[in-house]
Amino acid sequence: MTEKSYLDSIGENIKRIRYNISEAAVKAGRSPEEVRLMAVTKTVEPVFINRAIECGIDLIGENRVQEFLSKRGELSLENVEAHFIGHLQTNKVRQIIGIVDMIQAVDSVRLAKEISKCSIKQSLTTKILLEVNIGGEESKFGFTPDGLINSVIEIAQFEGIEIKGMMTVPPISENPDSLRSFFSNLRQLFIDIEGKKLDNVNMSILSMGMSEDYVEAVTEGSTMVRVGSAIFGNRNYR
First to last CA, the chain: 19
For the bound state, the minimum distance from the C-beta of residue 77 to ligand PLP, rounded and expressed in Å, comes to: 19
Verify binding: residue 111, ligand PLP, rule CB under 6 A.
Answer: no
User: Looking at beta carbons only, is 75 or 85 nearer to ligand PLP?
Assistant: 85
Q: Does 164 bind ligand PLP (CB under 6 A)?
A: no
Taking the C-alpha atoms of residue 196 and residue 185, their distance in angstroms, rounded to an integer, is: 17
Are 215 and 230 in contact by the 8 Å Cβ rule? The answer is no
* Residue 49: partners with Cβ closer than 8 Å, 6 or more residues away: 39, 41, 60, 71, 75
If one asks whether residue 229 binds ligand PLP (CB under 6 A), the answer comes out as yes
Size of the site for ligand PLP (CB under 6 A): 14
CA distance 40 to 84: 10
CB of 157 to ligand PLP, least distance (A): 27
Q: Which of 30, 42, 164, 187 binds ligand PLP (CB under 6 A)?
A: 42
**Given candidates 41, 50, 63, 119, which one binds ligand PLP under the rule CB under 6 A?**
63
CA distance 177 to 32: 22
| Helical pair 3-27 and 46-54, crossing angle rounded to 10 deg | 50
Task: Specify the pairing of strand 59-62 against strand 224-227.
Answer: unpaired
Cα distances from 119 to residues 72, 114, 156, 167, 216, in angstroms, run: 20, 8, 14, 21, 35
| Residue number, 114 or 213, with CB nearest to ligand PLP | 213
Q: Is 133 in the site for ligand PLP (CB under 6 A)?
A: no
Q: Which residue is nearest to ligand PLP (CB)?
A: 228
85 interacts with ligand PLP by CB under 6 A: yes
**Amino acid at position 61, single letter:** G
Mask for 169-188, x = binds ligand PLP (CB under 6 A): x-------------------
- Does 228 help bind ligand PLP (rule: CB under 6 A)? yes
Residue 43 interacting with ligand PLP (CB under 6 A): no
The residues binding ligand PLP (CB under 6 A) are 40, 42, 63, 85-86, 169, 210-212, 226-230
